[in-house]
Structure 1
Amino acid sequence: MKRVAFFLPFLAAGIPAAHLLAAGSPSARVQVVDERGLPVRDAVVEITPAAGTKSPSGFAWRAAMAQKDLQFTPGTLIVAKGSTVAFPNLDKVRHSIYSFSKIAKFEIDLYGRDQTRAQRFAIAGTAALGCNIHDAMRGYVRVVDTPYAAKTNANGIVDLSDVPSGKATITVWHPRLRAPANETNFDASVTADFSRKYTVKLR
């Protein structure tokens, strides 16, 4: 399987570099690294074909984010636009949930262990979550409008399958990415012989 690498461009200081390894269409591999070349884990990568795509609803993303050990688990959750996310409390203490984010402004009152609350996310983008009782708790719901989306692993890599060949927009999001809405977008052609290099910085 032929793979070629490229680096994601970005002008703002302090943003990790990213490069895409395009495996012969219809699959693609994306790796995100910082300016020292170290992998960035839990960056969300989305590919949106220019020709359009089917709705991401019904894809196998788990629409649940637990509160466990005084943390949101997982710290970043990917869901399709229009999904209702469950928030089970697995701690012995009570939690609340709030978001002041542009795509979802809401507040869920305190609830206890083994109880669950839910919230619908109708707009694509990112909702940053907090708890009124535990200020250190931070979580993110990344709402996507494409089925070709996933988080990078410990090696900063994500593999996306069944990506149509052709022109596409690639979006990389991470809470530490210094850019509007913590995301950057660029154009690419998802083909087996794609070869382009860009240089970036992440904070």
Structure 2
Amino acid sequence: MRTIALILMLLRPVAAHAGDVTLALRTANGRPLADAVVTVHPANGVPRTPIRFPWSYDVVQQNLQFVPHVQIVPVGATVRFPNRDRVRHHVYSFSRPARFELRLYGRDEARSYTFTTEGAVAIGCNIHDQMTGYIKVVDTPWAARSDAQGRVRIASVPGGAARVTIWHPRLRGRESESVYNVTIPATGTFARQVTLETR
């Protein structure tokens, strides 16, 4: 009986201390930096369970644009690319994490692709050169995109040492990233304003 009780205790999730991460992202000239992707990797690692985000993983082609311009998906996610335009599109990427082509398809049709490698994937349309977008494939459940005011909030990050990575297609530096080693509070909020060099 004691053995069974011990096993149940080991299997029961332990409520960890967790804090929130809020960042205000600015360029060197003081302007808000929208569409930056912030990820947090606690020093103790990330859960082994599948990562699921509450938003749709679709990247819609509408008004000759990719919407959203920057999408965040977990490793292993299948992304749909619906066409809402009157013209046909040919979506492609030459990025290292995912090289693919979704050949010509028309209005109200969709194609899909599964992203199996972490990293930033630049996408375009082979017919309309002005169409550009990005898919950030992440391996952590703690990820978010900055809004039009450059604000980011990531809730319930385990307290303790962590690595915060900020990615944006116009960031200067290796892989268009800035990396910070921080300490997340066990309760409350880790809040910072971050100034970033952009191209």
SS of corresponding position for 1:181: helix
How far is the alpha carbon of 1:197 from its aligned partner? 9.0
Given that 1:61 and 1:79 are in contact with CA atoms closer than 8 Å, whether structure 2 keeps it comes out as no
- Counterpart position of 1:15: none
Runs of 5+ unmatched residues, structure 1: 1-23
Detail structure 1 runs of 4+ shifted over 6 Å in the superposition.
193-199
Q: Distance in 1 between matches of 2:28 and 2:139?
A: 29
Aligned partner of 2:173 in structure 1 is 179
TM-score w.r.t. length of structure 2: 0.84
Query: Match for 2:55 among 47, 51, 61?
Result: 61
Residue 35 (structure 2) aligned to one of 38, 42, 48: 42
1:1-203 superposed matches below 5 A: 25-54=18-47, 55=49, 57-191=51-185, 200-203=196-199
Structure 2 residues not aligned, in runs of 5+: 1-16
Q: CA deviation at 1:147?
A: 0.8
TM-score for the superposition, normalised by structure 1: 0.83
How much does 1:62 deviate?
1.5
Note closer, same or farther for the CA distance 1:196–1:117 as it changes in structure 2 (3 Å cut).
Answer: closer
Distance 2:91 2:143 in 1: 25
> RMSD between aligned alpha carbons?
2.1
TM-fit CA distance, 1:202: 2.6
Question: Which has a greater percent of helix?
Answer: 2
Asked if the contact 2:24–2:194 (Cα under 8 Å) also holds between the matched residues in 1, the reply is no
Can you list the C-alpha shifts for 1:151-178, whole angstroms capped at 9, x where unaligned? 1112111111011100011010111111
Aligned residues of 1:44 and 1:149 also touching (Cα < 8 A): yes
Q: Deviations over 1:68-127 (max 9, x none)?
A: 000001000000111000000000000001100010001111000000000000011111
Structure number with greater Rg is 2
AA aligned to 1:146 is T
What is the number of residues matched between the two proteins? 180
For 1:36, the aligned partner's letter is N
Identity of matched residues, %: 44
CA contact 1:57–1:83 (8 Å) conserved in 2: no
